[in-house]
Protein backbone atom coordinates (compact mmCIF):
# COMPACT_ATOMS: atom_id res chain seq x y z
CA UNK A 1 0.00 0.00 0.00
CA UNK A 2 1.01 3.64 -0.49
CA UNK A 3 2.93 5.14 2.43
CA UNK A 4 0.59 7.81 3.90
CA UNK A 5 3.63 9.60 5.33
CA UNK A 6 5.33 9.96 1.94
CA UNK A 7 5.71 13.73 2.37
CA UNK A 8 8.12 13.01 5.25
CA UNK A 9 9.74 9.82 3.93
CA UNK A 10 10.34 10.87 0.29
CA UNK A 11 11.88 13.78 -1.57
CA UNK A 12 9.89 15.88 -4.01
CA UNK A 13 11.81 15.57 -7.27
CA UNK A 14 9.79 17.95 -9.41
CA UNK A 15 6.57 17.98 -11.35
CA UNK A 16 5.05 16.08 -14.24
CA UNK A 17 1.84 17.20 -15.95
CA UNK A 18 1.45 19.77 -13.19
CA UNK A 19 1.53 17.29 -10.29
CA UNK A 20 4.32 16.73 -7.78
CA UNK A 21 6.55 13.70 -8.23
CA UNK A 22 7.91 12.11 -5.04
CA UNK A 23 10.97 9.92 -5.55
CA UNK A 24 12.92 7.84 -5.73
CA UNK A 25 12.38 7.42 -9.46
CA UNK A 26 14.27 5.38 -12.02
CA UNK A 27 12.14 5.29 -15.17
CA UNK A 28 10.74 3.30 -16.76
CA UNK A 29 10.76 0.74 -13.92
CA UNK A 30 10.36 3.09 -10.95
CA UNK A 31 8.04 6.09 -11.24
CA UNK A 32 7.44 7.22 -7.64
CA UNK A 33 4.33 8.84 -6.16
CA UNK A 34 2.45 11.38 -8.29
CA UNK A 35 0.36 14.09 -6.61
CA UNK A 36 0.21 15.43 -3.07
CA UNK A 37 -3.39 16.08 -1.97
CA UNK A 38 -4.42 13.13 -4.13
CA UNK A 39 -1.38 10.86 -4.27
CA UNK A 40 -0.98 7.78 -6.48
CA UNK A 41 1.94 5.42 -5.96
CA UNK A 42 2.64 4.56 -9.57
CA UNK A 43 4.91 1.71 -8.54
CA UNK A 44 1.92 -0.01 -6.89
CA UNK A 45 -0.75 1.02 -9.47
CA UNK A 46 -1.83 -1.82 -11.76
CA UNK A 47 -3.82 0.41 -14.14
CA UNK A 48 -7.15 -0.99 -13.00
CA UNK A 49 -8.91 2.34 -13.73
CA UNK A 50 -11.64 2.12 -11.08
CA UNK A 51 -10.57 5.46 -9.57
CA UNK A 52 -10.77 7.18 -12.93
CA UNK A 53 -14.24 5.74 -13.61
CA UNK A 54 -15.63 6.49 -10.15
CA UNK A 55 -14.19 9.95 -9.34
CA UNK A 56 -17.16 12.35 -9.44
CA UNK A 57 -15.02 15.32 -10.49
CA UNK A 58 -12.64 13.63 -12.98
CA UNK A 59 -9.40 14.17 -11.09
CA UNK A 60 -7.55 11.35 -12.88
CA UNK A 61 -6.04 11.00 -16.35
CA UNK A 62 -4.50 7.98 -18.04
CA UNK A 63 -0.78 8.00 -18.73
CA UNK A 64 1.26 5.49 -20.69
CA UNK A 65 3.96 3.77 -18.68
CA UNK A 66 5.66 1.35 -21.07
CA UNK A 67 8.10 -1.10 -19.49
CA UNK A 68 6.86 -0.59 -15.93
CA UNK A 69 6.72 -4.02 -14.24
CA UNK A 70 3.15 -3.60 -12.89
CA UNK A 71 1.30 -2.13 -15.89
CA UNK A 72 1.76 -0.20 -19.12
CA UNK A 73 -0.97 2.30 -18.26
CA UNK A 74 -1.56 4.15 -15.01
CA UNK A 75 -3.45 7.14 -13.67
CA UNK A 76 -2.11 10.49 -12.58
CA UNK A 77 -4.16 12.93 -10.43
CA UNK A 78 -3.93 15.67 -13.06
CA UNK A 79 -6.78 17.74 -11.57
CA UNK A 80 -6.18 17.06 -7.88
CA UNK A 81 -7.22 20.66 -7.10
CA UNK A 82 -10.79 19.62 -7.99
CA UNK A 83 -10.90 16.85 -5.38
CA UNK A 84 -13.89 16.97 -2.98
CA UNK A 85 -12.45 14.38 -0.56
CA UNK A 86 -15.18 11.82 -1.14
CA UNK A 87 -12.62 8.98 -0.70
CA UNK A 88 -14.19 6.82 -3.42
CA UNK A 89 -10.89 6.35 -5.21
CA UNK A 90 -9.18 5.24 -2.01
CA UNK A 91 -11.96 2.70 -1.39
CA UNK A 92 -12.09 1.23 -4.91
CA UNK A 93 -8.37 0.88 -5.61
CA UNK A 94 -7.66 -2.87 -5.59
CA UNK A 95 -4.02 -2.41 -4.55
CA UNK A 96 -4.29 0.56 -2.14
CA UNK A 97 -2.16 2.77 -4.36
CA UNK A 98 -4.03 6.03 -3.54
CA UNK A 99 -3.84 8.33 -0.53
CA UNK A 100 -6.13 11.36 -0.18
CA UNK A 101 -5.30 13.78 2.62
CA UNK A 102 -8.17 16.14 3.39
CA UNK A 103 -5.93 18.03 5.83
FE1 LIG B 1 -12.00 12.02 -6.86
FE2 LIG B 1 -13.15 11.54 -4.49
FE3 LIG B 1 -10.72 10.52 -5.02
FE4 LIG B 1 -11.00 13.16 -4.62
S5 LIG B 1 -11.35 11.52 -3.08
S6 LIG B 1 -9.82 12.18 -6.27
S7 LIG B 1 -13.03 13.54 -5.52
S8 LIG B 1 -12.66 10.00 -6.07
Task: State the complex-level ipTM.
Answer: 0.98
**Which atom of ligand 1 is nearest the CA belonging to 86?**
2
Mean pLDDT across the chain: 97
pLDDT single digits (tens) 79-90: 999 999 999 999
Domain count, the chain: 1
Identify the domain containing residue 11 by its residue range: 6-100
- Examine residue 81 and state whether it is found in any structural domain, yes or no: yes
- Does residue 30 sit within a domain? yes
CATH code for the domain of 91: 3.30.70.20
Q: Which whole number is the average pLDDT over 57-76?
A: 98
User: What confidence score (pLDDT) does residue 102 get?
Assistant: 84
CB of 53 shorter than 6 A to ligand 1: no
**Residue 50 in contact with ligand 1 by CB distance below 6 A:** no
Whether 78 lines ligand 1, by a CB cut-off of 6 Å, is no
Inside any domain, residue 1: no
Does 49 fall in a domain? yes
Task: Please determine, for residue 39, whether its predicted confidence score (pLDDT) is greater than 90.
Answer: yes
Give the Cα separation of 70 and 83 in Å (integer). Answer: 26
In a domain, 87, yes or no: yes
Amino acid sequence: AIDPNFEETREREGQERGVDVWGPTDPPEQLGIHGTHVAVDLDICVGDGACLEDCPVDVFEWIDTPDHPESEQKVTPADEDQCIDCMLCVDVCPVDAIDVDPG
